[in-house]
Amino acid sequence: MPVDAFLFDKDGTLFDFAATWNGWAAKMLRSLSAGDDALAVAMAQTLRYDLAAEAFHPDSFVIAGTNAEVAGALAPFVPHMPEPELERYLAQNAAEADLAEAVPLAAFLDDLLARGKVLGVMTNDAEVSAVSQLDRAGVLDRFAFVAGFDSGHGAKPDPAPLLAFCEQCGISPQRSAMVGDSLHDLQAGAAAGMHRIGVLTGLAGHQDLHPHADAVLPNIGHIPAWLDRQGT
């Protein structure tokens, strides 16, 4: 069945995960620990982050988690900051992260729009971060739908936000594709009845994504060629 709409995950999909978030996490942890190296290491271990290497472990829950989940994990280490305040801090701090586009986004998205495709973003990050980052990348106006875990539709792997995209854009799930770098993305896509495209610009490998995806591509820039092969 043709694909008329694409719903993209943000981190690890539109933006390369490691290049965007590994360095940001080190700065964030050092800021929260206020110079206490032992505290920074303890927080990093909780997040499954290697502070010395400045890299997330592939099994870190942060990769597909929400700011609320990260705040909940870090809250015991920063008792001076109430959890809701910590969650807001993470969202605001993330909105200013240095962005590494997985491919030149404007040209890629314009190609899909020229093909008549409808585009959206659903991230387990906060909506304010997603909007800020897409705006800074100069591509916010390409998307008909942008949602975070706090937008009122739920978070992946729940299919509800994916179905909200389809409903808002007037396109059936069967004619839409979820594009993401994590199992949460692909599981949500399966539950919603959508096509599923995995990309390798996150921390999951081909062997992790392949059983759950209709296709696994090196990055989103390969989607036009995939569409050509499908004849859509």
Question: H or E segment at 145?
Answer: strand 145-147
Structural domains of the chain in order of their starting residue, each with its CATH number: 5-16+100-230 (3.40.50.1000), 18-94 (no CATH)
What pLDDT shows up at residue 95?
81
- The tens digit of pLDDT for each residue in 30-57 reads 999 998 999 999 999 999 999 999 999 9
Residue whose C-alpha is closest to residue 99's, from 146, 132, 65, 147: 132
- The answer to whether the predicted template modeling score (pTM) of the entire model surpasses 0.85 is yes
Smallest CA-to-CA distance from 65 within 85, 79, 49 is with: 49
List the one residue out of 110, 191, 134, 156 whose CA is nearest residue 20.
134
Separation CA 124–CA 230 (nearest Å): 29
Q: What is the pLDDT of residue 146?
A: 98
